[in-house]
Amino acid sequence: MSKKDAKEGVGKSKLSALEKLRSEYDDKRKLAVIERCKPFTLSDAQLNQVCGSMMRALKDGLRQSRRDRSSVKCYPTYVRTLPTGKERGNFLALDLGGTNFRVLHVEIGPDGQLKQDSKIYAVPASVMTGRGESLFSHLVDCIEHFAKERGLRGVPLGFTFSFPCRQEGLARGRLVRWTKGFACEGVEGRDVGGMLQEALDRRPGIDVEVKAVINDTTGTLVSKAWDRRNASVGVIVGTGFNVCYVEKASRVGGMEGEAGRTKEGRAEEGTMVVNTEMGAFGEKGELEGVRTEFDRVVDAASIHPGEHVLEKLVSGMYLGELVRVVLLGLREEGLVFEGRRCLQLREKGSVPTKYVSEIESDGPHHRVMAREILEEVGVSEPTVHDCATVRYVCRAVSRRAAHLAAAAVAAVARRVERSPVVAAVDGSLFRHHPHFARIMQEKTQQLLGPGTEVELCLSEDGSGRGAALVAASVR
């Protein structure tokens, strides 16, 4: 053997030894990462316990006298009927929930064919924080413009108002508090359906009547019920998290009296859609055995600490932030991003939930998206271990979210008392995360057991079409 070959052999041997050490080091860190993320893995026993707590909270929430004790409020929506397929005519829908809003026209022809068109309008910042009358005047300006373009008069309107409301009738809902950057003066505590109707009445040329005020969860159920008559549960898994379902009206407290009683004391007949406000589950401490130290960091830094606890474990508003907090914790323990400053990763909100969905979209042995996104958030030259760790954290956080969402649907499905249970689901996380819908479906079925079949179906445009269909059902 020549001296040159001998030197090359020694060099390769040293390199091989270094690679072996690096591999062993990464293996130890990998095991440590798995151990730190163990609390995100919920056993079947834990999930069944959570589901049982949810069922008890639902039972309390339905009773007006116990509602304050429950984190799940079960508010009546006053939506008593779902679409039958016999609805016909022209209807308008107004969808307000952010800096843009939509006006929609839904036409149901004699043959039952549904057609719709819509237009998006902006809400100027000055209107979002101005006087309430100015907001509703602006909404009516846009409704008037939209209706005149299409020659619509005397058309019923459904209003999707995606802010916390206390429903007092199908077309009456009092705003509890503004969110999403809105702070219009003189609206909180008032009936938004009535305020919109008053603004419409000041424009006699429109002749539009507000028939319903709903939230997007109710709209999701109603929209799917047009296609699937046996739909009985509505779920939003997007920026927020909520569940509604069809309940016996006699069980719903807080309408005219306790436990679905009329003014005359008779039990209410028929059914009613109940808005559970399930995202608030956990506010009475029911999820303390499930929350991790990382969840508590996210909660403490949120606008409303201690509120909407389940939503902070499930929804798209928080999952990306939770992943960011976990990664920072692992870095401080020397388990990832070794030797790099990661300044951008320290910024709150630097990991949106869409990044979690994109990282999860990589194939089993591919880390292309993980590498690209890490570089985008300021982690230079991420290693194979870095990419694998990020993907593992995304998977752990996403899987727990899907399992908790499944527990909520299973708890509600047990009250529906029918099989199959058809649940209409919408929301960006359910739509765009590559595995969330499948995991949620499988776990919901497992929790319910063989006696009850469940089907999670994607619902289209609940906040638009759903609102118009509610207006159609009460025409």
3-class DSSP state of 185: strand
* Cβ 244 vs Cβ 58: under 8 Å: no
Among 60, 216, 362, 461, the one annotated catalytic: 216
* Cβ 220 vs Cβ 466: under 8 Å: yes
Number of residues that this document lists for the chain? 475
Q: Return the exposure string of 173-194: e unless at least 16 CB atoms fall within 10 Å of the residue's CB, then b.
A: bbbeebbeebebeebbeebbbb
Find residue 91's DSSP bridge partners. 106
Count the neighbouring beta carbons within 10 Å of the beta carbon of residue 309: 24
Catalytic residue at 362? no
Q: Is the dihedral of CA 356, 359, 363, 364 positive or negative?
A: negative
Distant-in-sequence contacts of 281-285, Cβ < 8 A, 24+ apart: 281/53, 281/54, 281/57, 281/71, 281/72, 281/309, 281/310, 281/408, 282/71, 282/309, 282/310, 282/313, 283/71, 283/307, 283/308, 283/309, 284/57, 284/69, 284/70, 284/71
DSSP 105: E
Find residue 100's DSSP bridge partners. 122
Backbone angles phi, psi at 376, to 5 degrees: -65, -30
Catalytic residue at 216? yes
Among 14, 180, 201, 207, the one annotated catalytic: 180
Residue among 243, 165, 172 nearest 213 (CA): 172
- How many angstroms separate the Cα of 148 from the Cα of each of 3, 105, 117, 156, 326? 91, 12, 14, 15, 53
Q: CB under 8 Å to 387, separation ≥6 — which residues? A: 367, 370, 371, 374
* Cβ 419 vs Cβ 451: under 8 Å: yes
Cα separation, 393 vs 2, in Å, equals 50
Q: CB under 8 Å to 277, separation ≥6 — which residues? A: 72, 73, 74, 75, 242
Q: Which residues are catalytic?
A: 180, 216
